[in-house]
Amino acid sequence: MTSASPWKQDFPIFSSHAHPSLCYLDSAATCLTPKHVADAVYHYQCYSHANSHKGLYQLSANVTEKVEHARETVADFIGATSGASISFNSGTTEGINLIAFSFVEPILSDAYKKGKPSNLVISAVEHHANLLPWQRLAERYQAELRVVKITDEGIMDLAHLSQLLDNNTRVLAFSHCSNVLGRFNPAEQICRIAKRHHVPTIVDGAQAVAHGKTNVSAIDCDFYVFSAHKLYGPTGCGVMYGKTEHFEQMRPYQLGGGIVSKVNFTESDFVAGATKFEPGSHHVAGIVGLVEAIEYLHDISWPDIQQHMEKLALYLNTSLNELPYYQPLIVPSAKRLAAQPTEVASIVSFRLKNVHCHDVASLLDSNNIAVRAGHHCAQPLHETLGVTATVRASLGLYNDFSDVDKLVAGLDQAYQLMTG
Amino acid sequence: MTSASPWKQDFPIFSSHAHPSLCYLDSAATCLTPKHVADAVYHYQCYSHANSHKGLYQLSANVTEKVEHARETVADFIGATSGASISFNSGTTEGINLIAFSFVEPILSDAYKKGKPSNLVISAVEHHANLLPWQRLAERYQAELRVVKITDEGIMDLAHLSQLLDNNTRVLAFSHCSNVLGRFNPAEQICRIAKRHHVPTIVDGAQAVAHGKTNVSAIDCDFYVFSAHKLYGPTGCGVMYGKTEHFEQMRPYQLGGGIVSKVNFTESDFVAGATKFEPGSHHVAGIVGLVEAIEYLHDISWPDIQQHMEKLALYLNTSLNELPYYQPLIVPSAKRLAAQPTEVASIVSFRLKNVHCHDVASLLDSNNIAVRAGHHCAQPLHETLGVTATVRASLGLYNDFSDVDKLVAGLDQAYQLMTG
Amino acid sequence: MSEASQQKPDQPAVHDDHALYQQALLAHHKSPVGYNLAIVATHSAQGVNATCGDDIKIAVEIEQNYLQALAFYGDSCAICRASASMLCQHLKGLSVAEVLALSQKVKASLSENVSLIGVAAEQFEPLRSVEKFPVRKQCALLPWTTLEQALNATS
Amino acid sequence: MSEASQQKPDQPAVHDDHALYQQALLAHHKSPVGYNLAIVATHSAQGVNATCGDDIKIAVEIEQNYLQALAFYGDSCAICRASASMLCQHLKGLSVAEVLALSQKVKASLSENVSLIGVAAEQFEPLRSVEKFPVRKQCALLPWTTLEQALNATS
Ligand SMILES: Cc1ncc(COP(=O)(O)O)c(C=O)c1O
Ligand SMILES: Cc1ncc(COP(=O)(O)O)c(C=O)c1O
């Protein structure tokens, strides 16, 4: 690998009239957009836009077909066997709220009415999006919200998980990859453990899908959710995968047009399948852009992406580790690093000794380096680890060795300025 | 006015390499996209995209500013006094569901617990999006869903409204303009009546905002919702206006990042204001496109738009009325037509004698004329009026006299073919 | 990769040989077989197509496992009506087993664009004009799914 | 109308005179006035800035309506810390009414980019470097809003 990213040129933001010297290290928040994706959205809005699923005319039928075809593309992308298992929404946040309301709440409510105790299990690393909905349900049904500890390596403690699951566990919701620690949970193994206890599983894939081939069939989770914009796709679009066998018993979430087969003023019948969860007009431009993003990644190929990202992640971690004032949130054991170099995280969260995280981020910004500072919507995780905020650097396709060098130089400068 | 639309050239879909002969008469379903809007979205995704509200770096701060500035633009557009009253979501459907959950449900639940009867009032023309959420709440809290009749002219029967409202009415939800009949309700008057009964009002503005200056301050409603894509904006973006005094007592709707000030595993504090209803990453591209659409309309100016649309609507109605087999859903009284020509609807729903609506739509499609056939997500209205389906033709900025002529010729041909 | 490649200049959707409303189909629409026919139904079912608003009832008289008479009722679009009419015309005299087998074939031909062969091809080919109009396939299918329901139900 | 017009080529955000971390500010950060000072507080309040994680406590000793001593405690970013330090340095000896008036001015200067005049300008001008950094304004503001809370509370 040369030091330059072979794909940087695909991202117009780096062009000479825009931000050629931008060092963007916040892909975990949102990915920059490749021209392919922006073009696809543009062409859709300009030349193909119409209402999907409702018009009999050709323009509308074509849009319907685009949306239905997108289900297949997405299913294929995450290893689902059928497009019927794919429902579109506005993002990971909505996906989790949807599952909480449509699938989990009726189960909890039922147990509650029967006087049976319930508990919900999540992990200590969860993003607020995968915590708050469960907190609300736990409160409403007097259920216990159990939190699986993480190991020193930043992944779920499987022994603790096994202890927490029991016959009253109504759901296990966990992130495939933490947006703070960048570590992948062994999702297959976790779902297998859950299955032994007959506990349905929801996987927050927001951070995982852009970093390697996802296979929901192998993971064997009940639900998997993610957002297009963290996958080089457009804003406002997300995906819920679910085992179709659940769809029938699930109640619709938001209510509106297109999800009903028969309505009068006193009652309504709902349609079956994934569309039951898609009321109102589809965000077709978002879906079209998501498909384009998937095709873009497919054209590059996972092996090439992973090779680039792994080398870069290793360089990032090694370079940061050499800074004497660097305080990572999680210290990967040297043994593990040596044994599994490919598991180096492409998201790192850290602090600089005696320098506040927000000062670090501001000072880096003055050198055109974009990192995130704060709790990254994972405040309880930070509390668990005994800090209030960290600086987070995360890698994307456009990054290369020079970005890491800039970051290190920027950190050095910030440290000297604030403490020198 | 010449017969050609002065703005047609702003819409790339009509360019020679795309669909130059498209006769698009389904703007009530979704508006075609002007190049301005597609460009703005494109430029945002290519050159400005970053996460809003969370980054300290310049690129992110600029995006935050765009979103916050958009609140002001939208507020201004609908006559709200402050951007603080504007919250972004994915569309009208989500807006109504949000208000139902966050504002109305707690009120209903409270009354229910106290053993007080409740009723919810809507009108007979409502779109499923403004019916189903109330139906669900009515069922859950054993409240009565009351339906205000419409007059022969297709607007709300105010005398009946006054009869239905009482001390137990928890909300009045009605559409500013019907998506089937195209008639505007006298929203100001309706809200004044509601106010006399201390009933909060929710206005579904999906069909109204593109047809003239909206003034929520004059209407004095409590909430007003609409979608960007019915306003020449992009897909997946919607607006909820609400009187800010309600925001504090409202609970958050969907839960996720960015709406909390403090979170731990057992409880959370939420932020104040409109952002409380915007969990997760904003659909910034959609918001940017909406702002551009508003500016586009602003540049044309309402007087010019209205002049064009009114002449065209009059021509449409007059031309259709001349067809012997034309059966409009609502027959506007000649007296009214003469007295208030500007109130001619730019949405008409009708049937052809002895020809099924779906056959009409398919036959028109074969002549490149796009109309909608069915119940247009207002099945109960159709039932009320004693039909199962209608053909709907609706006008947009790109339409002109020639489109009306094509429609009439197409209807003639369809009628002859199917009945001749 | 971009969608530009998918844009085509306008093509009139009516080519005589591909038009949705072919003469054969229109003929059935205008003079439907079995429409509002009074028969001594032993089996019947109601079918509704929510998108289109089609609402059709199929009734059959079965005697000794053979379809002696067929009829349909209700309000529907021309495609649905023509489909029902062809069904009434051509299934009379067949055994239940034969009808179910044929119904499978016609449904496959409509929903998966599988060609029909033999006599069925002649009888039902006009229905295949929906091939190019995915939204209308359900209209042509409705009488067939409703018929199957009728046969599976005990009246 | 398009956003293209809003695109600017990269500009290094550090111009010496516009940089966020000016020398005067850094000096306060490195040697803060009133930080962890033990005073006999009559009034105090806690302020939290959720976005930044700033968590600061402002304490004052008021005697006969005059601020005799000020101190601050807690964990915060350099901007917040420098702002608190300036506050502790310059408000000592003023009356409660004077402090509240001044606080209004400083807050307006920070949130609405209103210039300060007179002695306040000299004392607090370094804070105005946040002008170009909207996200950080709240850091500079926090000590002031917290101070106002302290003054309005009875300790
Ligand atoms: C009156 C009315 N309300 C609500 C809606 C729903 O809008 P959306 O699909 O954008 O959520 C529509 C459009 O379909 C409408 O016409
Ligand atoms: C792990 C994880 N879950 C959920 C989310 C929420 O995603 P979105 O904001 O796209 O809904 C994010 C991103 O912020 C995330 O990193």
In-domain check, residue B68: yes
Q: A388 pLDDT band (50/70/90 cuts)?
A: confident
- Is the CB of D120 inside 8 Å of chain A's CB atoms? no
How far does Cα A73 stand from its chain's mean position? 18
The side-by-side arrangement of strands in the sheet containing A144-148 is A86-89, A238-242, A223-227, A201-204, A169-175, A119-123, A144-148
Measured CA to CA, the distance from residue C74 to residue C59 in angstroms comes to 11
Q: What percent of chain A has pLDDT over 70?
A: 97
pLDDT per position as a tens digit, B20-36: 999 999 999 999 999 99
The mean pLDDT of A66-85, rounded to a whole number, is 97
CB contact under 8 A, A254 and B93: yes
Q: Which atom of ligand 2 is nearest to the CA of A95?
A: 11
Helix, strand, or coil here: B16?
A: coil
| Same domain for B290 and B155 | yes
| Same domain for B278 and B251 | yes
Which chain C positions have a beta carbon within 8 Å of B365's beta carbon?
13
- Picking from A140, A85, A103, the residue whose alpha carbon sits closest to that of residue A252 is A103
Task: Say what the pLDDT of residue C15 is.
Answer: 39
In-domain check, residue A1: no
- Is the CB of D14 inside 8 Å of chain B's CB atoms? no
CATH number, domain with residue B352: 3.90.1150.10
Is D17's pLDDT higher than 70?
Answer: no
CB contact under 8 A, A61 and C134: yes
In-domain check, residue A253: yes
Helix, strand, or coil here: A145?
A: strand
pLDDT per position as a tens digit, A1-58: 456 899 999 999 999 999 999 999 999 999 999 999 999 999 999 999 999 988 889 9
Q: D154 pLDDT band (50/70/90 cuts)?
A: low
Which residue from A132, A178, A179, A237 has its CB within 8 A of the most atoms of ligand 2, so it is best to mutate?
A179
Reading the block at residue A136, the tokens are 């609300």
Task: Say what the pLDDT of residue D15 is.
Answer: 39
Active site residue A46: no
In-domain check, residue B404: yes
Number of H helices, E strands in chain A: 15, 15
Q: What percent of chain D has pLDDT over 70?
A: 87
Task: Say what the pLDDT of residue A1 is.
Answer: 43
Q: Is the separation of the CB atoms in B214 and B79 below 8 Å?
A: yes
The mean pLDDT of A314-323, rounded to a whole number, is 95
- Picking from B374, B365, B26, B376, the residue whose alpha carbon sits closest to that of residue C54 is B374
Which of A296, A316, A348 represents a domain boundary (last residue)? A296
Measured CA to CA, the distance from residue B231 to residue B77 in angstroms comes to 12
CB contact under 8 A, B56 and D136: yes
How far does Cα A78 stand from its chain's mean position? 13
In-domain check, residue B411: yes
* C-alpha atoms less than 13 angstroms from C-alpha of B337 in its C-beta half-sphere: 14
Helix ranges restricted to H, B243-354: 244-247, 284-300, 302-321, 334-339
| Same domain for A114 and A209 | yes
| Same domain for A277 and A310 | no
Q: Is the separation of the CB atoms in B66 and B53 below 8 Å?
A: no
Q: Is the separation of the CB atoms in A141 and A101 below 8 Å?
A: no
In-domain check, residue A34: no
Reading the block at residue C143, the tokens are 């009488």
- Is the CB of C134 inside 8 Å of chain B's CB atoms? no
Backbone angles phi, psi at B102, to 5 degrees: -80, -35
Chains C and B touch (3+ CB pairs under 8 A): yes
Q: Is the separation of the CB atoms in D95 and D112 below 8 Å?
A: no
* C-alpha atoms less than 13 angstroms from C-alpha of A161 in its C-beta half-sphere: 27
| Same domain for B18 and B55 | no
Is A408's pLDDT higher than 60?
Answer: yes
Of B38, B286, B358, the CB nearest to A56: B358
| Same domain for B140 and B185 | yes
Query: Best mutation site among C20, C48, C49, C52 for testing chain B: the one with the most B CBs within 10 Å?
Result: C52
% helix, strand, coil for chain D, step of 5: 50, 20, 30
CATH number, domain with residue A203: 3.40.640.10
Which of A296, A322, A343 represents a domain boundary (last residue)? A296
In-domain check, residue A31: no
Task: Say what the pLDDT of residue A148 is.
Answer: 98
Q: Is the separation of the CB atoms in B283 and A229 below 8 Å?
A: no
User: What are the residue ranges in chain C where pLDDT is below 50?
Assistant: 1-17, 155
Place of tokens 């969260």: A349
| Same domain for B135 and B228 | yes
Question: Could you give the angle at the alpha carbon of B64 between the alpha carbons of D103 and B226, nearest 5°?
Answer: 115
- Picking from A205, B418, B67, A367, the residue whose alpha carbon sits closest to that of residue D10 is A367
Which of B296, B330, B346 represents a domain boundary (last residue)? B296
Task: Say what the pLDDT of residue A393 is.
Answer: 98
Backbone angles phi, psi at A181, to 5 degrees: -95, -20
Question: Which ligand minimizes its atom distance to the CA of B210?
Answer: 1
Question: Which ligand minimizes its atom distance to the CA of A92?
Answer: 2
Task: Say what the pLDDT of residue D5 is.
Answer: 37
Task: Say what the pLDDT of residue B341 is.
Answer: 53
- Structure letter (DSSP) for residue B251: P
In-domain check, residue B370: yes
| Same domain for B388 and B375 | yes
Domains of chain D: 22-154 (3.90.1010.10)
Q: How far is CA A66 from CA A63, A74, A297, A352, in A?
A: 5, 12, 19, 48
pLDDT per position as a tens digit, A389-400: 999 999 999 999
The mean pLDDT of A372-388, rounded to a whole number, is 93
Terminal-to-terminal C-alpha distance of chain C = 55
SS in 3 state form for A319-351? HHHCCCCEEECCCCCHHHHHHCHHHCCCEEEEE
Domain count, chain B: 2
How far does Cα A267 stand from its chain's mean position? 37
- Please count the other Cβ atoms lying within 10 Å of the Cβ belonging to residue C2: 17
Reading the block at residue A58, the tokens are 């050709």
pLDDT tens per residue across all 420 residues of chain B: 456 899 999 999 999 999 999 999 999 999 999 999 999 999 999 999 999 988 889 999 999 999 999 999 999 999 999 999 999 999 999 999 999 999 999 999 999 999 999 999 999 999 999 999 999 999 999 999 999 999 998 999 999 999 999 999 999 999 999 999 999 999 999 999 999 999 999 999 999 999 999 999 999 999 999 999 999 999 999 999 999 999 999 999 999 999 998 899 999 999 999 999 999 999 999 999 999 999 999 999 999 999 999 999 999 999 999 999 999 998 877 666 666 655 678 999 999 999 999 999 999 999 999 999 999 999 999 999 999 899 999 999 999 999 999 999 999 999 999 998
Reading the block at residue D14, the tokens are 């550090």
The mean pLDDT of A234-256, rounded to a whole number, is 97
B/e letters for D42-67, b = 16+ CB within 10 Å, e = fewer, are: bbbbebbbbbbbbbbbbbbbbeeeeb
Q: What percent of chain A has pLDDT over 90?
A: 91
Measured CA to CA, the distance from residue B348 to residue B44 in angstroms comes to 37
Sign of the torsion angle spanned by Cα atoms B123, B127, B128, B130: negative
- Establish whether residue A281 lines the binding site of ligand 1, counting it when its CB lies within 6 angstroms of any ligand atom: yes
Reading the block at residue B97, the tokens are 């569901």
Q: What residues does A260 pair with on adjacent strands?
A: A270
| Same domain for B353 and B402 | yes
Q: Closest-CA residue in chain B for A14?
A: B47
Task: Say what the pLDDT of residue C18 is.
Answer: 52
| Same domain for A149 and A257 | yes
Mutual angle of helices C23-30 and B401-419, in 10-degree steps: 70
Q: Which residues span the domain enclosing A194?
A: 41-296
| Same domain for B243 and B373 | no
| Same domain for B311 and B253 | no
